[in-house]
Amino acid sequence: MENTAIGNVWVFIEQEGGKIADVSLELVSKGRELADRLGVKVEALLLGNGVEHCCATLFQYGCDNVFLAEDPRLEPFTVLPFAKVIVDLIREHRPNILMFGATMKGRELAPRVASEKLSGLTADCTDLRIDDFEDQRNHIVYKDKLMQIRPAFGGNIIATIVNTWEDPQMVTVREGVMKMGEPDATRTGTITRVTPALTAQEMVVKVIERVRQEKTVNLKGAQIIVAGGYGVGSAANFKLIHELAKTLGGQVGASRAAVDAGWIDHDHQVGQTGVTVRPKLYIACGISGSVQHRAGMAESKKIIAINTDPAAPIFSVAHYGIIGDLNQVIPMMIKAYKSKA
């Protein structure tokens, strides 16, 4: 297939109350890298109402152009009008790549768009690269395709997926895995205003009530995380985890098992269905280390695992392993830190 005049790299910008989600800036940074490799532009899709001020930030992180669609019907976010605006833009401008954060919004919006556009969509990517793809069955070589790399099968395999149908190549990308670049205050770009062509058909879903609060924990930005798992044993015992985190100036993380047991809120969950983190130090206490959990923390710079079971898979990613009871080891750590720091 001949590759003529390929389209640009697009990033769907997720915002809440005019504040851009971190994952969107991570994707703009990644988009810049992909676009430079392809020799095309990075363009952002910014939908909402009263969000024009976000454009400056998007330029600073690497966008060349922002498609800005402002309409009261685009606040708060609902799937159908967002999908309509995006599909209309795709049909008009034919982007090569379209990326969404693999957030709750991204994961309900992207498939709706992909289905209407008959585009391939790969969920929850953890890496993206440009490379050639040879379809060996049909003996076709596709130049400069997007390699969409994601864990599958519960994290037990890593698959590289390629979309060979008509563009755009669509992906959702896990939060926290792409590195956010440094903003460049001198960078500017253009704004393309879009008038949403919405009809009653897209407005059938009504928001009756909406309750949300900003997360009180910021695991993604934390340099030190002390995380507890099922081995902590009880909600009361979790205070040891909090105590160590507080002593070390870190945040509290948790495995899914601890969250499911009700010992700690989901906001603290690290792993495939939680947050992906890469702190300077990750201390896993009583966490066996399922693939789902390891997927969310294995990139940490230093990992200390404390577990009574020497066969626990968490030790496979640990730099330091303490085979012992966290009830004894954690107080030792606190004591040592307080006496030496």
Nearer to other proteins, 21 or 191 (CB): 21
252 binds other proteins (CB under 8 A): no
120 binds other proteins (CB under 8 A): yes
139 binds other proteins (CB under 8 A): no
Among 93, 107, 187, 242, binds other proteins (CB under 8 A): 107
328 binds other proteins (CB under 8 A): yes
Least Å distance between CB 147 and other proteins?
7
Nearer to other proteins, 164 or 192 (CB): 164
112 binds other proteins (CB under 8 A): yes
Cis peptide before 168 (omega within 30 of 0): yes
Cα–Cα distance measured from residue 264 to residue 242, given in angstroms and rounded to the nearest whole number: 11
The three-point CA angle 249-253-340 to 5° equals: 30
173 binds other proteins (CB under 8 A): no
Cis peptide before 72 (omega within 30 of 0): no
Nearer to other proteins, 42 or 113 (CB): 113
Binding residues for other proteins restricted to 15-44, rule: CB under 8 A: 16
Binding residues for other proteins restricted to 152-171, rule: CB under 8 A: 152-165
DSSP string, 240-305: HHHHHHHHHT-EEEE-HHHHHTTSS-GGGBBSTTSB----SEEEEES----HHHHHHHTT-SEEEE
Part in contact with other proteins (CB under 8 A); list of ranges 32-40, 53-61, 189-197, 317-325: 317-325
Part in contact with other proteins (CB under 8 A); list of ranges 34-42, 53-61, 90-98, 110-118: 110-118
Least Å distance between CB 114 and other proteins?
7
Is residue 117 within 8 A of residue 94, CB to CB? The reply is: no
Binding residues for other proteins restricted to 290-309, rule: CB under 8 A: 290-292, 301-302, 304-305
User: How many residues in the chain?
Assistant: 341
Part in contact with other proteins (CB under 8 A); list of ranges 29-37, 48-56, 59-67, 145-153: 145-153
| Number of chain positions touching other proteins (CB under 8 A) | 91
Is residue 168 within 8 A of residue 95, CB to CB? The reply is: yes
Nearer to other proteins, 42 or 270 (CB): 270
Determine phi and psi for 94, rounding to 5 degrees: 50, 70
Binding residues for other proteins restricted to 269-288, rule: CB under 8 A: 272, 280-281
Part in contact with other proteins (CB under 8 A); list of ranges 30-38, 45-53, 190-198, 330-338: 330-338
DSSP string, 174-192: -TTSSPP----TT---EEE
321 binds other proteins (CB under 8 A): yes
Cβ burial 225-244 (10 Å sphere, 16+ → b, else e): bbbbbbbbbeeebbebbebb
Nearer to other proteins, 42 or 226 (CB): 226
Using only C-alpha atoms, the chain has a radius of gyration, in whole angstroms, of 22
Nearer to other proteins, 104 or 235 (CB): 104
Site string for other proteins, 85-104 (x = CB under 8 A): ------------------xx
Least Å distance between CB 188 and other proteins?
30
Is residue 18 within 8 A of residue 56, CB to CB? The reply is: no
Nearer to other proteins, 185 or 340 (CB): 340
What residues contact residue 256 under an 8 Å CB cut-off, 6+ apart? 269, 271, 273, 274, 290, 292, 293
Q: Is 256 left (phi over 0), alpha (psi -120 to 50) or beta?
A: alpha
Binding residues for other proteins restricted to 178-237, rule: CB under 8 A: 204-215, 224
